Amino acid sequence: MKQGDLVVRKSYGGDILFRISAMAGDQAILRGADYRLLADAPLKDLEPVREGEPPEGVRKARIQSVESVRRMVDARRRLAGSQSWTSAGERSFFEVPGKVLHLDGDPYYLRRSLTIYGQLGVPAEGYWAHETRMAEALAELLPRVLPDIIVITGHDGFLRAGADRRHLGNYRNSANFVRAVDVVRRYDRNRDGLVVIAGACQSHFEALIGAGANFASSPARVMIHALDPVYVAVRAALTPFRESIDLEDVISRTVSGARGIGGVETLGRFRVGTPNPASHAAPAVPPSGAGPA
């Protein structure tokens, strides 16, 4: 086995698919392939998995991933169908969805998330940063990108079963996510000025909300699907700015649900403008010297 290989843990019944992030002696650092979980395990506990052939217990996560993307597409269609600014059957308005800054500790899911934003017409800039460097990265990115919505995610995990879950020191990266949220709120304290979605698997929900996040994981310290933060960001980007994001609806439509994602009342970041430039395009200019047909 080597860095980058797909594996499952035999002691856990092969329930979660991981990639080997690093190896040190007889230990491996693992990053969830479908869930935003960071873990370690002895090499002897790992079983290799061939690309494209996940075990039965992992296939459910892949199905959930497809379902999550479908829900985002449905949300986009509902928004497009709800607009009534039409003139003589033509769209007389243009859309201005909220702009997303997506900071991710997993380069694979960063690329996948940016693809989804692009498919849905949500403007987004994405950057990879190790969780320990996210606060510093945001200090540089915020005044440059000028986002409406910020996603701060990567991998996390509860370190010791039975330990005090109120203590930040018992989490792999929750303290790093809290530091990153704090940087955002020093930049803009208005939760409706900058919508912040923060956390990963088993993250310290209360600490992230307390630091100023609008949405965070994980209230019940459960694993969240890798695309759950993306789904919340898309809903924030596509909810009209005069409307509060429907908390119960958006949370219930994530893969992990209310045990994995929670939040506070927040206004959407979507606006419309008029007229639609496409409906007022200049007429074609005939070539020089061309006369009437």
**Mind listing the pLDDT tens digit for each residue in 140-168?**
999 999 999 999 999 898 887 777 889 99
One-letter identity of residue 264: V
- Cβ within 8 Å of residue 71, ≥6 positions away: 231, 253
- 60-119 pLDDT, tens digit per residue, is 655 666 777 777 788 777 766 665 444 445 557 788 999 999 999 988 889 989 999 998
State which amino acid sits at residue 280: H
**pTM (two decimals):** 0.81
- Nearest CA to 198 out of 103, 66, 64 is that of 103
Least Cα distance to 198 among 233, 222, 223 occurs for 233
What type of residue is 226? A
Longest dimension (CA), the chain: 85
What architecture does CATH give domain 62-273? Answer: 3-Layer(aba) Sandwich (3.40)
What are the C-alpha distances in Å from 54 to residues 34, 70, 250?
11, 21, 29
